[in-house]
Structure 1
Amino acid sequence: MDHLTVVDEIFLRTHRGMGTPIALQGLWRTPDAMEPDLLQAIHGRLRVGHLGRRVVSPRVPGARRTWRPNTRAHPLDVAIGPLRESEILPWADALGTDLDPENGPGWRLSAARLHDGGTVVALTCSHALADARGLIHAITAALRSLESTVSDASTELAGAELVPARDDELWSRTTPSEWADAVSQWTTIFGGTARALHQKLSRPLVPPAPDLSPDRTFREAGPDPVSSSAVPTSRKPQSSRADTSDRHLRPLLLTFDATHWDTTAITLGGTPNSLFIHLMANILWQTGFPKPTITASLPVDTRDEPRVDNDLAMTEIAIERTDTPATIRDRAKAAYQRRMSSPAGLPEEILQVLPDRWAYALSKGAGERDILCSNIGHLPDAVRKVGPHHCTRVAARAIHPDITTFPRTQLAGYLSRLDDTYTLALVSLAADSDFLPDAIDKACATTGLRPSPW
């Protein structure tokens, strides 16, 4: 049994309708048909793995919510009929519904045959259960387990259906009592609040518009710069955060030759990551974004070991139109050494003892900037192969099931690498997202990048 972190609880509140709903998704493609027994074996391993858990609320005020094993799962979801290339993303986008991290199940494994004879597999989970690296760790553990005992897959699956996993089989760490946890939480909160008051007696305890990050993070900049003279464009200016009635989602998946991407980055004086950030900013400007400065939020993986959790922090940088991958490299390097912080220096644990709506008000908009640049990095070798099937394409991304509340973020990108291929998963959350394909082409052309369909 584990305690939820502050970040876990922020994503739990989005599941409850307070904020933008987020589910994470891994996608795999194989050039041949995948056997139903193999998919069922993977499903069985995931069910007794670390995604097989749910949130339990405490009985003692101030104690944190905890994770408990949960072997209930959505059945393996196999689409009827083969999908055409243009139907893959609409199919995958619809897989985030009915995920419940509290009552379970909070994840789903799905598969579909493709018109070219191949298979696409999707693992989708509530962001409350895991972040992108956590989701990758979960599927990696399942695939490695499958590889080591593939001949016994059907037998193990049948046993898993009948015998629920015991707590001591899945969770080796002991948990203090709820009373002890509550005392620890309140001690931290009172001590941290007293220090904040001592340092900032002249400021209100709760600012009228706080910017509390979900990730122990830092905010040193002032309000986002607003241009006094918008960049001329023939396109309709993008909608403001207050007016989201005409905003909609536009997801895309692109691939890039990794050697060419890396060489391009070096030629421009940057790194693969700074080239990614540069590309994301320029795509947004090409869609008609009017401001001369774009603020990017950059997730930071804070793991010291592989585990299925929301183990991340956020930082940010400002990007000007004159910036290059070289200048962004230096700015990003400095940004990764700091984090956005809670308002008035209050301890972040306060979000775990306040009522949900109060906690949501304090953390509303946490980590949201104009663009999100999530560099997931190299994917492990284990995801290259599913049983006897080699994966030709793998992608990791976020989706927004049943979205009604749109964030400040206009464009989100998730970059990952497998072998000699970078995959860029994009989602536009702007009013004029129909311009996205054209904006990508123009932004890539400025640096010489050559995108291909996923």
Structure 2
Amino acid sequence: MSDVEIFHEEIAKGALSRKVERTWVPGARDRWSRASGRTPLHVEPEPVADVLGWLDGRVSADFDPATGLGWQLSFARTTDGGAVLSLVAAHAIADGAALLDAVTRADGGTPAPVTEPSGPLAAILDDLADARKQLSAAARWVLNRPRGTKKTPPPAKTSPQAPADWRVPHVVVECDSADLARTAAARGGSVNSLFVAALSRVAATAGCADAVVPAALPVSGREPDDARANSTRIAVAGLDRSVLDEQDLAEVKAECKRAYQRLAAASPGSQPLALLQMLPDTVVRRLPPPPAATVLASNVGRLPGELCGAPVRSVSATAHYPGAGPEEVATIGDGVTGWLSDSGERSTISVCGLAPGRINDVEELRELVVSEFAAWGVAVRPW
């Protein structure tokens, strides 16, 4: 058995192999249980030349967490003598931190499977306890919710018409980590603040941004041995266009810090999540979506330097939107999303353009991203 096959087996033993178990107790949340099935390892028969094209082609819209088919591992040799590994998972079963944890544990031979109640009676007792907890949380929110006049939502932005066959463009670029760090320090900031500022300026150049650019900054709440599929919360920084125009990373860094502080100070009970959990799916689908940020900038951080017994050259992390057309994406927002990954000597920036009519294809997005980093003095190399 090859190292990749062993890795596949170890992932299948871990937390990604989970499925939804419906509860019959009103108010209780559905729970995760161990999934017995798995998607087989896909091995590409011929070496690939277009690595990014192959990776994008491995994204599937057919995952179904209700049946336990929520992830797939794929492997290919490349025409330059290297190899590429793709792990795709439904966001419902793992956020970025959970996916990274699953990879690290699988490669180390220490997968953490989903825990389950010891039997039907234990499951019912767990559901009853969870229902009491959720009902209590919902009641507290109803009693303590802010009261006052309704806020008038801002007028919807009008976007240019997108081509009917528009799909979310995705580009990946990489650069030397040392160059990125030096450039950030020279402008009074950090690598993260440069990343956030660069994405915000890309959105502004594309015509997505107003005077203040709202940037969503994912923050992981994952703890050791955390079994949750999703533990991410979002801090939101408001970046003034004049600060971005001046490339003032000290102020960008300061505003990001204030956003993290606001998130830390916010009460976890300030959102009616327990109440939403109790609503039928048909009702939830009719609720208005929450306000979307123009930019989402996710700093994945430092990744393992070795995987399956081989050194890791570069890693790209991305949230995909398979099959989403312009109308559906327009409900998500009007801007860009990006992920920064550190592989040691190289840093990788993956960007999706969620701006139908403004960013219409891969070539436009690639030009925006490459030109933006060049404006900072950072040379990036597209995949």
TM-score, normalised on structure 2? Answer: 0.85
Quick one: structure 1 residues 40 and 335, their matched pair in 2 at CA, closer, same or farther if it must change by over 3 Å?
same
Amino acid at match of 1:415: L
Which of 12, 18, 36 lines up with 1:53 in the alignment? 18
Which of 83, 88, 111 lines up with 2:52 in the alignment? 88
Secondary structure of the corresponding residue to residue 124 of structure 1: strand
Which of 334, 343, 354 lines up with 2:258 in the alignment? 334
Matching residue of 1:393:
314
Matching residue of 2:368:
439
Matches within 5 A, 1:101-180: 101-145=65-109, 167=116, 176-180=125-129
Matching residue of 2:324:
403
Matching residue of 2:344:
419
Q: Does the Cα contact within 8 Å between 1:93 and 1:401 map onto a contact in 2?
A: no
Deviation for aligned residue 1:142? 0.5
Matching residue of 2:214:
295
Matching residue of 2:204:
285
Deviation for aligned residue 1:97? 2.7
Q: Does the Cα contact within 8 Å between 1:372 and 1:409 map onto a contact in 2?
A: no
Greater relative CO, 1 or 2 (CA 8 Å, sep 6+)? 1
Deviation for aligned residue 1:439? 1.4
Quick one: structure 1 residues 136 and 408, their matched pair in 2 at CA, closer, same or farther if it must change by over 3 Å?
same
Deviation for aligned residue 1:346? 5.3
Amino acid at match of 1:186: L
Q: Please give the alpha-carbon distance, in whole angstroms, between the structure 1 residues aligned to 2:275 and 2:240.
A: 36
TM-score, normalised on structure 1? Answer: 0.73
Q: Percent identity?
A: 27
Matches within 5 A, 1:184-203: 184-196=133-145, 199-200=146-147, 202-203=148-149
Deviation for aligned residue 1:356? 1.4
Quick one: structure 1 residues 239 and 377, their matched pair in 2 at CA, closer, same or farther if it must change by over 3 Å?
farther
Matching residue of 1:452:
381
Matching residue of 1:322:
242
Matching residue of 1:269:
188
Worse overlay, 120-129 or 317-326: 317-326
Q: Does the Cα contact within 8 Å between 1:224 and 1:295 map onto a contact in 2?
A: no
Matches within 5 A, 1:353-364: 353-362=278-287, 364=288
Quick one: structure 1 residues 288 and 409, their matched pair in 2 at CA, closer, same or farther if it must change by over 3 Å?
closer
Amino acid at match of 1:254: V
> Please, which runs of 5 or more residues in structure 1 have no aligned partner?
1-35, 149-163, 210-222, 227-236
RMSD of the TM alignment (CA)? 3.1
Q: Does the Cα contact within 8 Å between 1:93 and 1:399 map onto a contact in 2?
A: no
Q: Please give the alpha-carbon distance, in whole angstroms, between the structure 1 residues aligned to 2:76 and 2:24.
A: 43
Which of 62, 80, 93 lines up with 1:98 in the alignment? 62
Report how many aligned residue pairs link the two structures.
364
Q: Deviations over 1:59-105 (max 9, x none)?
A: 011011100001310111112321113x5334434422321111121
